[in-house]
Amino acid sequence: MRRLVFLLTLVFLLALTGVAQASTLITRNPQGPVKLAVNQQGVAMLTVRVNGQTQHILAWGAINMSRGRLLLDYSGGTGSSGANWQTFRNTCGPYRGGAFPGSKLIVASCTARDGSHWAVQQWQRSILNYGGTTGSTEVRLSHWRGPVADLVVFSDWSRYGRSKTEKFAHLFGTYSFQGKPIGVGQATPQGVPLDDKGRNIYLDSLNSNYGVPTSGFQWRRVNGFLANRPYGQFCFEIGPKRQASTLLGQQFSGESTVNRYRVTSPGPGVTPDIRVEFAGPPSPYDPNWQLTMNDL
Please name the residues in contact with 96: beta carbons below 8 A apart, sequence gap of 6 or more. 111, 117
The residues near 41 (Cβ < 8 Å, ≥ 6 apart) are 60, 82, 83
Query: For position 244, what pLDDT does the model report?
Result: 56
User: What residues form DSSP beta bridges with 188?
Assistant: none
**Which residues lie closer than 8 Å to 112 by C-beta, 6 or more apart?**
38, 42, 91, 92, 93, 118
> What length does the chain have?
296
Pair 75, 248: CB distance under 8 Å? no
Neighbours of 14 (CB within 10 A): 17
Cβ 172 vs Cβ 228: under 8 Å = no
**Residue 154: strand pairing partners:** 172
- Determine contact, residues 109/92, Cβ cutoff 8 Å: no
Helix, strand or coil for residue 94? coil
Please report the sign of the dihedral spanned by the C-alpha atoms of residue 21, residue 27, residue 33, residue 35: negative
The rounded distance, in Å, linking the Cα atoms of 278 and 262 is 6
C-alpha 190 chain-centroid distance:
17
Instruction: State how far the Cα of 211 lies from the Cα of 206, in Å rounded to an integer.
Output: 10
The pLDDT profile of the chain, 296 residues, written as one tens digit per residue, is 444 333 333 333 322 333 334 689 999 999 999 999 999 999 999 999 999 999 999 999 999 998 789 999 999 998 777 889 999 999 999 999 999 999 999 999 999 999 999 999 999 999 999 999 999 999 999 999 999 999 999 999 999 888 888 899 999 999 999 999 998 878 888 888 887 778 999 999 999 999 999 999 999 999 999 999 899 999 999 998 876 555 555 678 999 999 999 999 999 999 999 999 999 999 888 888 888 888 87
Give the type of residue at 215: S
Bond preceding residue 284 cis, omega within 30 of 0: yes
Please tell me the distance from the alpha carbon of residue 44 to that of residue 116, in angstroms, as a whole number.
12
Q: Among 70, 13, 80, 18, which Cα is nearest to 44's?
A: 70
